[in-house]
């Protein structure tokens, strides 16, 4: 049984137990993993601290660490089927989607491996001929990396790759629901040459393991992806020792369709925007905001197509999307739909938990459309993180922008229009970290990802995703010191 990787070795838990991971699609047992204890988390932090303080990892030329990331990418590519299978079984998502995810993980390691050694800081022009002033980078130190269950290894890669490139050591805690690929990754990193103690893993729950990783004084930085309430708790936990805290939290993401849009394309993408991975996507386009004049045409078509989306397990070739992650999560999603209806929304399709046949064995929830929504509704304000589309209408560009920005979150959004000026105007006005024009969901590791407002702090991916794991240091050298006698002799 695995789950605890300390100082380059698989270890037995100190006082922890075990957890059975089962597939959300049908409840079959996947594997047993270590359910780590607080003592395990403390030991992992100690291992990461010792490795960091030895100085040898940070002292390596960045290029060499980058080569390890490139090797990691090659090994992940070699073992793609194994990784994708593990990810599909943990999450219940379709195997083919899990394969896409592993491709994205490979791309992330390749990107950070590829930029190694390309930015060593800068020389500052002080105007003083007797001074050399340089800005250089140093690793932050020991990083706690805490990740969710929806894109398990992808969220891990966005943290592990830049953290390693910058010369940090880390303790990783994946979601207790989906730990399998994080376990596999430890062996891959070791095979790629990452030294003992640099990469450490503790599987287990948030309150037990995560809480230690967020508060241990020997941790310098916490990088967290997950829900808003947990993110707030992590900020509070880190405050006692002024840790650097970066947060990738949820979203309540608008998808705006103007009357001049390519309607057929907009409808097609609106479905993927929210129903991909059954809505368990932080950037899901859950809020459809459509020109009032287009409402009936767009919504009738979406409802009819949503009702035909086929649900099924990871290896069901006919399936178009999979289950939700757990019974508890499905109950939460259903409660949002019920709240929406109670507050006046019109349930156009979905909203009923399947109780017959194969689907009754998993945590399935049908694609659901709530029409006639208004801004005060709970289902508009809070993230359901499920396959739930809400529909709002507007009659002017400024109203569309106002509705889309009326959220505590600010992660992502899209605008559909054939008017290039309007597209740029609206994209500029949206208070969201990513804006797609006539598209939904694409991202590349070269471009930053993150949120405005309560969608988080800091950015992942791109050069900024690396700078989050760097301290910035100013080194000043006086090349010809001579007394100044500010205070007379």
Give the residue numbers annotated as catalytic, written as ranges: 248, 282
Element (H, E) at 146: strand 142-146
CA 227 to chain CA centroid, Å, is 10
DSSP state of 194: P
Element (H, E) at 421: helix 420-429
Pick the closer one to ligand NAD by CB: 290 or 466: 466
- Binding range to ligand NAD, per CB under 6 A, among 52-60, 148-156, 238-246, 418-426: 148-156
Smallest separation, CB 473 to ligand NAD (Å): 29
Instruction: Kindly give, in sequence order, each residue whose CB lies less than 8 Å from that of residue 430, ignoring residues fewer than 6 positions away.
Output: 254, 401, 404, 405, 413, 415
Between CA 315 and CA 363 the distance in angstroms is 16
Buried/exposed code over 383-421 (b: 16+ C-beta within 10 A; e: otherwise): bbbbbbbbbbbbeebeebbebbbbbebbbbbbbbbeeee
Smallest separation, CB 417 to ligand NAD (Å): 26
Pick the closer one to ligand NAD by CB: 13 or 155: 155
For the window 421-460, what string marks contact with ligand NAD as x by the rule CB under 6 A?
------------------------------x----x----
Q: Say if residues 185 and 158 touch (Cβ distance below 8 Å).
A: no
Number of residues that bind ligand NAD (CB under 6 A): 31
Smallest separation, CB 376 to ligand NAD (Å): 21
Looking at residues 221 to 250 of the shown chain, list those that interact with ligand NAD (rule: CB under 6 A). 225-227, 230, 233-234, 248-250
Smallest separation, CB 421 to ligand NAD (Å): 30
Question: Can you tell me which of 365, 385, 436, 469 binds ligand NAD, judged by CB under 6 A?
Answer: 385
Question: Can you tell me which of 37, 91, 150, 203 binds ligand NAD, judged by CB under 6 A?
Answer: 150
Pick the closer one to ligand NAD by CB: 146 or 388: 146
Q: Over the Cα atoms of the chain, what is R_g?
A: 24
Nearest in space to 404 (alpha carbons), one of 432, 434, 441: 432
- Binding range to ligand NAD, per CB under 6 A, among 144-152, 269-277, 313-321, 356-364: 144-152
DSSP string, 234-284: HHHHHHTTT-EEEEE-----EEEE-TTS-HHHHHHHHHHHHHGGGG--TT-
Question: Can you tell me which of 75, 156, 306, 411 binds ligand NAD, judged by CB under 6 A?
Answer: 411
Smallest separation, CB 460 to ligand NAD (Å): 7
- Per rule CB under 6 A, is residue 35 in the interface with ligand NAD? no
Element (H, E) at 331: helix 327-342
Pick the closer one to ligand NAD by CB: 24 or 167: 24
- Per rule CB under 6 A, is residue 147 in the interface with ligand NAD? yes
Q: Say if residues 139 and 469 touch (Cβ distance below 8 Å).
A: yes
Smallest separation, CB 277 to ligand NAD (Å): 10
Pick the closer one to ligand NAD by CB: 146 or 403: 146
**Backbone torsion region of residue 462, taken as left when φ is above 0, otherwise alpha when ψ lies between -120 and 50, otherwise beta:** left
Q: Say if residues 32 and 1 touch (Cβ distance below 8 Å).
A: yes
Helix ranges restricted to H, 292-326:
295-306
Between CA 335 and CA 333 the distance in angstroms is 5
- Binding range to ligand NAD, per CB under 6 A, among 55-63, 146-154, 291-299, 352-360: 146-154
Pick the closer one to ligand NAD by CB: 385 or 436: 385
- Per rule CB under 6 A, is residue 278 in the interface with ligand NAD? no
Question: Can you tell me which of 13, 37, 42, 155 binds ligand NAD, judged by CB under 6 A?
Answer: 155
Smallest separation, CB 58 to ligand NAD (Å): 26
Residue 154, number of CB atoms within 10 A of its CB: 20
Number of C-alpha atoms within 13 angstroms, CB side, residue 436? 25
Going from the C-alpha of 71 to that of each of 19, 67, 466, the distances in angstroms are: 31, 6, 19
- Per rule CB under 6 A, is residue 362 in the interface with ligand NAD? no
Smallest separation, CB 230 to ligand NAD (Å): 3
Looking at residues 183 to 222 of the shown chain, list those that interact with ligand NAD (rule: CB under 6 A). 205-207, 210-211, 214
Tokens 């050591």 locate to 169
- Per rule CB under 6 A, is residue 175 in the interface with ligand NAD? yes
Between CA 213 and CA 229 the distance in angstroms is 17
**Among all residues, whose Cβ is closest to ligand NAD?**
206
Tokens 């590519």 locate to 77
Phi, psi (rounded to 5 degrees) for 47? -65, -45
Question: Can you tell me which of 97, 216, 291, 383 binds ligand NAD, judged by CB under 6 A?
Answer: 383
- Binding range to ligand NAD, per CB under 6 A, among 28-36, 147-155, 338-346, 477-485: 147-155
Pick the closer one to ligand NAD by CB: 30 or 267: 30
Nearest in space to 91 (alpha carbons), one of 171, 157, 10, 178: 178
Pick the closer one to ligand NAD by CB: 327 or 346: 327
Nearest in space to 144 (alpha carbons), one of 54, 47, 71: 47
Smallest separation, CB 174 to ligand NAD (Å): 6
Q: Say if residues 244 and 219 touch (Cβ distance below 8 Å).
A: no
Sites of contact with ligand NAD (CB under 6 A): 146-150, 155, 173, 175-176, 205-207, 210-211, 214, 225-227, 230, 233-234, 248-251, 282, 383, 385, 411, 451, 456
């Amino acid at each position: 049984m695995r789950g605890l990787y300390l100082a380059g070795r698989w270890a037995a838990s100190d006082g922890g137990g075990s957890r059975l991971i089962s597939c959300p699609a049908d409840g079959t047992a996947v594997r047993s993993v270590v359910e780590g204890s607080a003592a395990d988390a403390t030991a992992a932090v100690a291992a990461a601290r010792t490795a960091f303080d030895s100085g040898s990892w940070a002292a390596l030329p960045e290029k060499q660490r980058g080569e390890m990331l490139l090797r990691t990418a090659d090994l992940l590519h070699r073992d793609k089927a194994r990784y994708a299978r593990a990810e599909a079984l943990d999450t219940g998502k379709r195997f083919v989607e899990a394969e896409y995810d592993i491709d994205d993980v490979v791309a992330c390691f390749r990107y950070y491996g590829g930029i190694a050694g390309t930015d060593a800081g800068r020389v500052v022009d002080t105007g003083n001929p007797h001074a050399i002033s340089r800005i250089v980078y140093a690793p932050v130190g020991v990083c706690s990396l805490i990740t969710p269950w929806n894109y398990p290894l992808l969220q891990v890669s966005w943290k592990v790759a830049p953290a390693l490139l910058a010369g940090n050591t880390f303790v990783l805690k994946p979601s207790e629901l989906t730990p399998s690929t994080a376990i596999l990754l430890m062996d891959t990193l070791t095979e790629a040459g990452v030294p003992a103690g640099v990469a450490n893993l503790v599987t287990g729950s948030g309150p037990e393991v995560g809480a230690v990783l967020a508060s241990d004084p020997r941790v310098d930085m916490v990088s967290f992806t997950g829900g808003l309430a947990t993110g707030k708790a992590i900020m509070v936990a880190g405050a006692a020792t002024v840790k650097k805290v970066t947060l990738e939290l949820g979203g309540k993401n608008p998808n705006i369709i103007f009357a001049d849009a390519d309607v057929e394309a907009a409808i097609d993408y609106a479905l993927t925007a929210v129903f991909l991975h059954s809505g368990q996507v932080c950037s899901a386009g859950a809020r459809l905001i459509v020109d009032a004049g287009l409402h009936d045409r767009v919504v009738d078509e979406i409802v009819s197509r949503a009702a035909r989306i086929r649900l099924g397990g990871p290896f069901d070739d006919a399936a178009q999307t999979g289950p939700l992650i757990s019974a508890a999560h499905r109950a939460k999603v259903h409660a949002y739909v019920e709240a929406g209806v109670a507050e006046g929304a019109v349930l156009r399709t979905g909203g009923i938990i399947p109780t017959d046949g194969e689907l009754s064995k998993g945590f399935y929830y049908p694609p659901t459309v709530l029409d006639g929504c208004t801004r005060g509704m709970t289902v508009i304000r809070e993230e359901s993180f499920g396959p739930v589309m809400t529909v709002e209408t507007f009659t002017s560009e400024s109203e569309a922008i106002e509705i889309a920005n009326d959220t505590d979150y600010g992660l992502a959004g899209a605008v559909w229009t054939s008017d290039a000026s309007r597209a740029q105007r609206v994209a500029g006005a949206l208070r969201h970290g990513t804006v797609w024009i006539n598209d939904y969901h694409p991202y590349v590791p070269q471009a930053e990802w993150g949120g405005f407002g309560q969608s988080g702090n800091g950015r992942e991916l791109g050069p900024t995703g690396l700078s989050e794991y760097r301290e910035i240091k100013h080194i000043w050298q006086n090349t010809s010191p001579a007394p100044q006698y500010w205070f007379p002799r």
